[in-house]
């Protein structure tokens, strides 16, 4: 390991892997050896983790590379639901738990692989009877309940792409997504629970659909979850239970081409309109099956829990397709972390003896803020592997997670990837000898990444640059639905034929990757580029700071000035002394160029419903601009509160 360099992110220092497991170590080494055979050799081998109705002819077809299109496993035939279910129910796994559902109210349901297989077959038969065809798209707008998984797999079984819309979206968000995809069928629920109260999903759907708002929708299937009274439009709306009552127990899985679409998932871009990211069947399944298996070292007896919502890519890849393709047992939790109390997550780990726990830094920091007495009061000894995703994990949160949740006994793998990438691309492996808190470290074997400067050359160690993927990978997005030009310009044209992630990153002197955040979050102060995540990380090292969001504010002389919005831990008070201390902390950790011009104490940061800090809004507030789109904001009241403190 090289020495600590002053321009490296704060908190650097390696942690030896506490997980003495020769087998895992050997697996990591074997994967690296396999990767040395090149992209095709590696992924050809990985494709053996999937059951093909017909073997593929070529691993990767680059014949359309000039127009930025690549295809994987051409000639291969498969079905994603078959891979998640049918191949498990022929043997003993049919009695294994596929999903352990924990409702927010404390209700619990276990679905074995056989149960899930039956339910999926029934819904698939019902969808077919409704006349759903391959060229249709089914929109799924449901809470975190088993029926969401059933609906996705039923679509996959009949070969119809699904478009899952996160249950936290409003009627407007749902409407925009339904209309962009011209969905004919909507699957929703009478409600889900959040903080003990029902969320009115069907009412939102009715609002989206009223006055012919979504003209493509022909049928609405309604799952009963919350027991709320809902309006049922005659001829259009049908109860899920009624549909399932007489449905056939078996529905032949459609034989899909490897390149047939599996789903679209909308994601926010830099412009207002959401991007419909399209994934296909073969490459996606190979990508998620293999990364789930190797990144989480999932064994037959593990109980795996991913806290992400199914409405986001993490839920798709690592709650549904990845775990189920591996025959794993997943916990599916409907609610929030503090209902009825702040130890809810730890109680769930204790109750089900969860062994692999996958969550997001934003949640880790929240839990950290609540204090370690909550996890300390629960038995977390079943945990053996931790993982993080969604944003750079600051070293302080990494270390807290590692120590207070993992008991310094569990490897902590920080996985970098995106809706577009479909699967993990940069991550340590659990068999690595050590971890570097705060760094996603290196590419998964078979994946080639680089950090480029503006000219498209690899940067020198310690310099910031554009995080790019230089070779295609199997679960890569194939296009943006309805927007093929945007697909080209957003991802492939800045550096001809190289995938632009939109993130900034830095390579350290050991060649390891530190993701610094979205490029629109990288700021330029007097010609120096600084990652906002880096400054935040430094601020978070202060014992009184709970969360920090840093933005670049227009500055006459410097171009941009650093402006930090900070929330404090319970009991701490904002003061002039604290402002001075925090500024000095940043100067000490990074350098004078990163010194914040303003530090503003606020009670809560504005976040999207998926938990990402909306820095764009903070920038607008700091610059006194008219606020941009706030439709994805979790709690709009936060904005007014911040405006008052500013
Ligand atoms: C960020 C979520 C640093 C990054 C899977 C990326 C991360 C965006 C990490 C994609 C990580 C995700 N370290 N940053 N481990 N994981 N990101 O599409 O900015 O919701 O571009 O996919 O999240 O977010 P998305």
A 10 A CB-CB count for 233 gives 12
Q: Is the CB of 389 under 6 A from ligand 1?
A: yes
CB 542 within 8 A of CB 581: yes
First and final CA of the chain: distance in angstroms?
43
Reported for 563-566, long-range contacts at CB under 8 A and 24+ positions apart, including other chains, are: 563/596, 563/597, 563/598, 563/600, 563/618, 563/622, 564/535, 564/536, 564/539, 564/596, 564/598, 564/599, 564/600, 565/600, 565/602, 565/605, 565/618, 565/642, 566/539, 566/599, 566/600, 566/601, 566/602
Relative to the CA of 610, which ligand 1 atom is closest?
20
pLDDT at residue 526 tops 60: yes
pLDDT at residue 592 tops 90: no
Between 4 and 165, the higher pLDDT residue: 165
Residue for token pair 């939102």? 204
Residue for token pair 């093929």? 484
Closest CA to 629 of 614, 610, 640: 614
Its sign, for the CA torsion 467, 469, 474, 479, is positive
State in Å: Cα 499 to ligand 1 middle.
15
Which of the four pLDDT bands, split at 50, 70 and 90, describes residue 4? Answer: very low
Q: Is the CB of 306 under 6 A from ligand 1?
A: no
State in Å: Cα 517 to ligand 1 middle.
8
Pocket test for ligand 1, best of 166, 264, 275, 391 (most atoms within 8 A of CB): 391
3-class DSSP assignment, residue 416:
strand
Q: What tens digit of pLDDT does each residue of 119-154 get? A: 999 999 999 999 999 999 999 999 999 999 999 999
State in Å: Cα 457 to ligand 1 middle.
23
Query: What pLDDT was estimated at residue 257?
Result: 98
- The torsion angles phi and psi of 80, rounded to 5 degrees, stand at -65, -40
CB 265 within 8 A of CB 164: yes
Query: What pLDDT was estimated at residue 628?
Result: 65
Query: What pLDDT was estimated at residue 623?
Result: 83
Output the residue whose Cα is nearest ligand 1's atom 14.
Answer: 391
Q: Is the CB of 521 under 6 A from ligand 1?
A: no
Q: What tens digit of pLDDT does each residue of 418-468 get? A: 999 999 999 999 999 899 999 999 999 999 999 999 999 999 999 989 999
Q: What tens digit of pLDDT does each residue of 161-170 get? A: 999 998 887 7
Give the pLDDT mean for 574-596. Answer: 87
Pocket test for ligand 1, best of 316, 503, 512, 536 (most atoms within 8 A of CB): 503
Q: Looking at 38-52, 227-241, 387-401, 587-601, which range is the least confident one?
A: 587-601
pLDDT at residue 358 tops 60: yes
Q: What value does the mean pLDDT of the chain take?
A: 91
pLDDT at residue 368 tops 50: yes
Q: Cα separation of 111 and 105, whole Å?
A: 18
Q: Cα separation of 409 and 411, whole Å?
A: 7
pLDDT at residue 528 tops 70: no
Which of the four pLDDT bands, split at 50, 70 and 90, describes residue 636? Answer: low
pLDDT at residue 372 tops 90: yes
Q: Is the CB of 418 under 6 A from ligand 1?
A: yes
Whole-model pTM: value is: 0.85
Query: What pLDDT was estimated at residue 272?
Result: 42
Query: What pLDDT was estimated at residue 2?
Result: 37
Burial of residue 272 (number of CB atoms within 10 Å: 0-12, 13-18, 19+): exposed
Query: What pLDDT was estimated at residue 273?
Result: 65
Q: What tens digit of pLDDT does each residue of 169-198 get? A: 778 779 988 999 999 999 999 999 988 889
Which of the four pLDDT bands, split at 50, 70 and 90, describes residue 517? Answer: confident
Residues 6 or more apart whose Cβ sits within 8 Å of residue 530? 464, 522, 523, 524, 562, 590, 593, 594
């Amino acid at each position: 390991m090289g020495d600590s360099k002053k321009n490296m992110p704060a908190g650097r220092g390696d942690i030896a892997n506490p997980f003495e497991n020769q087998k895992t170590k050997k697996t990591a080494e074997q994967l690296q050896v396999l990767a040395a055979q090149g992209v095709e050799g590696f992924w050809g081998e990985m494709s053996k983790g999937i059951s093909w109705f017909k073997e593929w002819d070529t691993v990767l077809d680059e014949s359309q590379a000039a127009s930025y299109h690549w295809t994987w496993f051409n000639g291969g035939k498969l079905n994603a639901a078959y891979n998640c279910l049918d191949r498990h129910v022929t043997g003993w796994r049919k009695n294994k738990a596929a999903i352990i559902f924990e409702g927010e109210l404390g209700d619990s349901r276990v679905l074995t692989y056989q149960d899930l297989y039956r339910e999926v077959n029934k819904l698939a038969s019902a969808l077919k009877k409704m006349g759903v065809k391959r060229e249709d798209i089914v929109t799924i707008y449901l809470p975190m309940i088993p029926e969401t998984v059933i609906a996705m797999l039923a679509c996959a079984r009949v070969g119809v792409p699904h478009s899952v819309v996160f249950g936290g979206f409003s009627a407007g968000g749902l409407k925009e997504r339904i209309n962009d995809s011209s969905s004919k069928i909507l699957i929703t629920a009478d409600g889900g629970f959040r903080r003990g109260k029902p969320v009115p999903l069907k009412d939102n759907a009715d609002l989206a659909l009223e006055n012919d708002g979504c003209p493509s929708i022909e049928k609405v299937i309604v799952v009963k979850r919350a027991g709320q009274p809902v309006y049922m439009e005659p001829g259009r709306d049908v109860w899920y239970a009624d549909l399932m009552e007489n449905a056939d127990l078996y529905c032949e899985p459609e034989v899909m081409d490897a390149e047939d679409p599996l789903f679209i998932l909308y994601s926010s871009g830099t412009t207002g309109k959401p991007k419909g990211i399209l994934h296909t069947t073969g490459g996606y399944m190979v990508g998620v099956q293999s990364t789930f298996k190797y990144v989480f070292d999932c064994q037959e007896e593990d109980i795996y829990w991913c806290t992400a919502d199914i409405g986001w890519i993490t839920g798709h890849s690592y709650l549904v397709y990845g775990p189920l393709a591996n025959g794993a047992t997943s916990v599916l939790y409907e609610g929030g972390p503090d209902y009825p109390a702040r130890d809810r997550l730890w109680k769930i780990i204790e109750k089900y003896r969860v062994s692999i726990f996958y969550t997001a830094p934003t949640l880790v920091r929240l839990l950290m803020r609540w204090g370690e007495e909550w996890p300390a009061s629960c038995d977390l000894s079943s945990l053996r592997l931790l993982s993080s995703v969604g944003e750079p994990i600051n070293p302080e949160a990494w270390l807290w997670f590692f120590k207070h949740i993992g008991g310094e006994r569990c490897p902590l793998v920080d996985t970098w990837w995106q809706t577009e990438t479909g699967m993990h691309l940069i991550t340590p492996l659990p068999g690595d000898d050590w971890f570097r808190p705060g760094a996603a470290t290196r590419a998964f074997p078979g994946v080639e990444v680089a950090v480029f400067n503006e000219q498209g050359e690899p940067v020198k160690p310690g310099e910031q640059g554009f995080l790019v993927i230089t070779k295609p990978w199997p679960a890569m997005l194939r296009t943006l639905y309805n927007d093929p030009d945007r697909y080209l310009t957003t991802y492939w044209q800045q550096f001809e034929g190289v995938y632009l992630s939109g993130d900034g990153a830095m390579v350290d002197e050991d060649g390891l990757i530190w993701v610094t955040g979205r490029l629109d979050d990288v700021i330029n102060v007097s010609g120096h580029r600084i990652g906002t995540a880096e400054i935040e990380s430094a601020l978070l090292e202060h014992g009184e700071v709970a969360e920090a969001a840093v933005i670049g504010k227009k500055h006459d002389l410097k171009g941009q000035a650093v402006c930090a919005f900070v929330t404090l831990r319970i009991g701490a008070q904002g003061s002039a002394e604290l402002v001075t201390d925090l500024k000095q902390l940043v100067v000490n950790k990074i350098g004078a160029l990163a010194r914040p011009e303003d530090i503003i104490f606020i009670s809560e940061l504005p976040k999207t419903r998926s938990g990402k800090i909306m820095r764009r809004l903070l920038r607008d507030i700091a610059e006194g601009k008219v606020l941009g789109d706030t439709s994805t904001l979790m709690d709009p009241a936060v904005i007014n509160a911040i405006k008052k403190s500013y």
